[in-house]
Amino acid sequence: MTDADDLAARVREGDLRLYELEEHADADTAAAARRLLLAEETGADLSTVGEYAFDADVAESNVENMIGAAQIPMGVVGPLPVDGSAADGEYQLPLATTEGALIASVNRGVSAIREAGGATVRVLKTEMTRAPVFSVEDVGEASEVATWVREHTDELAEAAEGTTNHGELRDVTPYVVGDNVYLRFGYDTKDAMGMNMATIATEAACELVESETPASLVALSGNLCTDKKPAAVNAIEGRGRTVAADVFLPHELVEETFGTTADAIAEANTRKNLVGSAKAGSLGFNAHAANVVAAAFLATGQDAAQVVEGSNAITTAESREDGLYASVSLASLEVGTVGGGTSLPTQSEALDVLGVGGGGDPAGSNADALAEVIAAAALAGELSLLGALASRHLASAHAELGR
């Protein structure tokens, strides 16, 4: 069997390219050869990068030119009681992060939610989108295409769903900008995050549009989807899972847990998350929802770049007669429990901790449950940070916990 030194030598001699190594050796040997070459070129010590606890071949669908693995510390928050449409019970949520104070802060919010009897959480909408852009001659043709699409959604669904065993086309919305026609396809992708599913299905539907209308496909993604970029359309219409969580905390619990009052937390939320965000032109009206979303994504094998959409969240806090009402609504949380990085061993174990690994019964229920637990944890994080700001303990907490 070819060893790493031999492979590296063949690359140096120009006999092989880096991406061809798996054709001549197993994936772990190929990764070791790349580490040798990279260490020679840069002088870096890659011994820790090469210490990973899975066979490299399981990552072949996730990465090219593999050299090893990036290891991120993982902690856990919980038990977090969730009353959801799919998640029902107490959950331990693994979070992978390098940010000191984050897990301690979220756990403080979790303790308040637990003492209050749990968070109510619901997935309100499920729809993964892909929006191709077509060119036409003029506005007249654009209108013709848009009309045809509205009248032939069933045929488009048949074409799209013929590419998948699980995805269902929910709707197609045309948008016209001069001689451009954008079609925003929305799918129920069940337990998969579904971006690849939606892309393949949409390509098939586009072939039908081109054959039946004057439209000519320019790009399978026209950025009206919108994937991995801040976008108002996702904040308004949603993408992936639209999920909301709330909780009511009695005054005594607020004061015991956060060292402040419901009035102070509500004021901090209004002035920071709402007014401050509006002045900044932000699409996220929250304190740090992306912190929890990112840590959960890394731990459970989600597409990390889609934290952009996951930060599309609005936090509310209202001081009522008996205590504090707080909520967080995430418009576009894109998660799955099958496919992508969820099959990697570490991430698969994290999903098993939650009890949502693989496909759910009914289909889609595991991904719904994951979304609901993440939303509840995001609410815990919002409560804790708002409490720290209102009590003026933010800087001291970070100093104490090394951030």
Catalytic residue among 26, 83, 88, 99: 99
d(CA 152, CA 150): 6
The Cβ of residue 87 has, within 10 Å, a number of other Cβ atoms equal to: 29
The pLDDT assigned to 278 comes to 97
13 is a catalytic site residue: no
Q: Among 204, 198, 211, 205, which Cα is nearest to 174's? A: 205
CATH class of 74-126+235-400: alpha beta
The pLDDT assigned to 401 comes to 54
Whole-Å CA distances, 60 to 11, 103, 320, 351: 20, 31, 53, 20
| Residue 95 C-alpha from the chain's centroid | 13
Please name the fold of domain 132-219: Alpha-Beta Plaits (3.30.70)
Angle (CA) 125-131-133 rounded to 5° is 160
55 is a catalytic site residue: no
191 is a catalytic site residue: no
Which residue blocks in 130-230 are alpha helix, DSSP H?
Answer: 139-151, 153-161, 195-212
Q: What is the pTM of this model?
A: 0.95
Tokens of 301: 């094998």
Q: Among 45, 39, 106, which Cα is nearest to 287's? A: 106
Q: Which residues have C-beta within 8 Å of that of residue 149, sequence separation ≥ 6?
A: 156, 172, 174, 183, 209, 213
d(CA 75, CA 77): 7
Q: Please provide the size of the chain in residues.
A: 403
The pLDDT assigned to 228 comes to 96
Please report, for the chain, the start and end positions of each structural domain, with discontinuous segments joined by +.
21-71, 74-126+235-400, 132-219
Q: Which residues have C-beta within 8 Å of that of residue 4, sequence separation ≥ 6?
A: 25, 29, 32, 33, 35, 36
Catalytic residue among 127, 237, 303, 372: 303
The pLDDT assigned to 392 comes to 80
Q: Which residues have C-beta within 8 Å of that of residue 9, sequence separation ≥ 6?
A: none
The pLDDT assigned to 190 comes to 97
Bridge partners of residue 248, in order along the sequence: 325
The pLDDT assigned to 395 comes to 45
Q: Are 79 and 114 in contact (CB under 8 A)?
A: yes
Which stretches in the chain have pLDDT values below 50? 395
Tokens of 345: 């061993």
